[in-house]
Structure 1
Amino acid sequence: MTTQVAFLFPGQGSQNVGMGADVFATSDAAKRVFNTFDETLGFSLSNLCFQGPEDTLRSTINAQPAIVAVSLAYLAAFQEALSPQNSSWTTPLAPSYTAGHSVGECTAMVAAGAIDIKGVAHLVRERGRLMHEEEEICPGGMAAIIGMNAELLQQVCEDATQQCLQQLAQSGQQHPGMGHVVLANYNAPGQIVISGEQQALDTACALAKQRGAKRVIRLSVSGAFHSPVMQPAAARLADSIAATQIQNASYPIISNITALPTTNTSDIRSELSQQIAESVQWTRTIEYLAAQGVTTFFEIGPGQALAGMIKRTIKDADIINIGSVDEIEQAVAKVKEL
């Protein structure tokens, strides 16, 4: 296959009760993925994915390993469908590049050969636990701002932060995220997500509406991901990353932080620890992939959020979703055509 392809993996928010149940029932390769996660984590993550309850699945500590497990299960089932006797994460269809949105970057690292499945299961569970703890210490949230350019929105966040820090000056609050709101996810042109401590986020959302944003949509997440609120979690996560076996990637992973490719072990470790407190450069990631000649984007995992972002960024992109057994069949047929 001469077409340049990228394997892309979704992040938190894509989870839904029932995800992965169809592929668990039909694919031995997918079943092995779920069984490995269950055995590694010591509880039935698969049952949580398939049956819920929704509130438990949505919790950060559970949602992150669940999304990674389901995404890897669909990738394994897809490769198995292409070649039942000879399949792996990258066989028979090898990606030119891999990338993932937020926790999806951990999935991409498995697909690229940098981390094994047991290692990533432990890592994303700990990632979710640490981020959940920070949610409890410094409550916050995220909001998608539609129809406002990055420069104006940056000023909104700076003004909201300044206002809140002035109000907090006499409170004695010490957490590095208190009073801060920042641009967190550059998802697509005209679609940027802001993230921050609750008061700062509320202030920024109100200012964005006053200054011309077309829509302000609060996201169904429980914390201020990719913001200074997560800096303490990032520092503690570095210890878990240091204890995780990581090797050079076999295929380039596009960094969430720089939107540039990396394969080096030390760069991957740094990326994993810093990424939860840094902005996700998804627009630049898709633009970079297109500039390298990638014409076919595989979104592998629950939901189709990435497809919408890609279409807003690259109008003529060929996007193949792999998030159900039916979509696996369609993807196999499309690969054979290519």
Structure 2
Amino acid sequence: MNAYIFTGQGSQFVGMGKKLYQNSDFAKKLFLLSNDILGFKITDIMFNSPIEILKKTKYTQLAIYIYSFIQAKLLDNFNPDMVAGHSLGEFSALASIDVFSFEEGLILVEKRGSLMQKICEQIPGGMAVVFGLDDHFIESFCKKDKGIVVPSNYNSPGQLVISGEEKALKRVCFSLEKKGAKRILRLPVHGAFHSPIMFSMKKKLEIFIENIHFKDSKYPIYQNVTAKPENKCSRIKKNIIEQLTSPVKWKQSVINMIHHGARSFIEIGPKNILQGMIKKIFNEIRKKNEM
């Protein structure tokens, strides 16, 4: 069975989409439509801007959403048995399987990105990838800290992202280094995504999302919040709101997809950054089956 997986923030690069724009009338039409809807030239930011501009959350999310949707629709045989998206990638996945229209998804992603950018500017925070420690061990250190710091992305075996306010994040990273983390990598973001810090934008997005028309999905989508297949639009809508303050259960989602028959994972997005995680998850399942 074929699973189509959509990348999130971190897969962007300057020049992304330029070849699609130049070589496909369909892509060019959607890029120009995006410029019109947004009221500014997202194409200029994607194709030509310095990376520091493109890395701003309010632009990054739009750029990846547009690119991923176009790439999916240009595939010769986009016929998934199941889909999933990593964080922002969930929105690209939902638009690609027609749960909402490209245009409505673009407006939704623009709103989400702008709200997240505001919180990033108001509350200093960040995210860090911890390599080589058990998930439960990392969770216990987050719970012990007096500040706001939580697990935010369960990516793969031995790779967990933590997210929180700057001082708390630094304290926990320092402690985990002392306790044997192989490596700790700060992510190039200026906000504590998928953490309680995002709570203040939850209600605003919930009100906004009521104006977006959702449909039931033809394909099961394994959502970040539950890691389980969803089809009903009411559940899908609830889960993408909860995603703001809940961890991305990517490892759990992939394990469930494999157990439900997925053997081929086709990655959609500017860069292939999920394939390495998939291989580690497959290897962990094989080891357990051999025991």
Question: Normalising by the residue count of structure 1, what TM-score does the alignment of the two structures yield?
Answer: 0.82
Q: Which residue of 2 aligns with 1:93?
A: 78
Q: Which amino acid aligns with 1:58?
A: K
Tell me the residue number matched to 2:135: 150
Q: Is 1:251 aligned to 2:219, yes or no?
A: yes
Q: Which residue is 1:287 aligned to?
A: 255
Residue 6 (structure 2) aligns with: 9
Matched-pair contact (CA < 8 Å) for 1:184–1:279 = yes
Give CA deviations for 1:200-249 in whole Å, capped at 9, x if unaligned.
Answer: 10011001111111111101111000001111112211111111111111
1:112–1:253 CA contact under 8 A, matched in 2:
no
Could you tell me how far apart the structure 1 residues matched to 2:136 and 2:78 are?
Answer: 40
**What SS class does the counterpart of residue 184 from structure 2 fall into?**
strand
Aligned to 1:135: 120
The higher radius of gyration belongs to 1
Once the two structures are superposed, the pairs formed by residues 1-338 of structure 1 within 5 Å of their partners are 4-78=1-75, 82=76, 92-160=77-145, 162=146, 179-315=147-283
- Kindly indicate whether the alpha-carbon contact (under 8 Å) linking 1:181 and 1:195 is maintained by their aligned counterparts in 2: yes
Whether the 8 Å CA contact 2:157–2:284 is kept in 1: the answer is no
- After superposition, the Cα gap between the structure-2 partners of 1:296 and 1:128, relative to the gap in structure 1 and judged at 3 Å, is same
| TM-score normalised by L of structure 2 | 0.95
Give the Cα separation in 1 of the matches to 2:129 and 2:48: 29
Q: What do the CA deviations read for 1:104-136 (whole angstroms, capped 9, x no partner)?
A: 000010122101000011000000011111112
Moved more, 244-253 or 193-202: 244-253
Unaligned runs of 5+ in 1: 83-91, 163-178, 318-338
Aligned-partner Cα distance in 2 for 1:269–1:146:
32
Superposed CA offset, 1:172-223 (max 9, x none): xxxxxxx200000000000000000001100110011111111111011110
For the aligned residues, what is the CA RMSD? 1.4
Question: How far off is 1:28 after superposition?
Answer: 2.0
Q: Residue type matched to 1:102 in 2?
A: S
The Cα of 1:155 is off from its aligned counterpart by: 1.1
Provide the secondary structure at the position in 1 that maps to 2:243. helix
Q: What amino acid is the match of 1:11?
A: G
For the residue of structure 2 that corresponds to 1:193, the secondary structure is strand
* Residue type at the aligned position of 1:184: S
Contact 2:72 2:78 in 1 (8 A): no
CA distance in 2, matches of 1:316, 1:25: 42
Shift of residue 316, structure 1, vs aligned partner: 10
For structure 2, list consecutive stretches of 5 or more residues without a partner in the other structure: 286-291
The CA deviation at 1:36 is 2.3
8 Å CA contact retained: 2:7, 2:273: yes
CA contact under 8 A between 2:85 and 2:91: conserved in structure 1? yes
Helix, strand or coil: the match of 1:303?
coil
Query: Take 2:13 and 2:66, find their aligned partners in 1: how far apart are those partners?
Result: 13
Superposed CA offset, 1:257-289 (max 9, x none): 110011111111111211011100000111111
Identical columns (%): 37
Report the AA paired with residue 55 of structure 1.
E
Query: 8 Å contact 2:73–2:96 — kept in the other structure?
Result: no
Matched residue SS, 1:132? helix
2:239 & 2:38 partners in 1: Cα distance? 24
> Deviation at 1:32?
2.5
Residues 185 and 193 of structure 1 are in contact (CA less than 8 Å); yes or no, is this contact kept in structure 2? yes
Number of residue pairs the alignment of both structures matches? 285
- Partner AA of 1:28 in structure 2: D
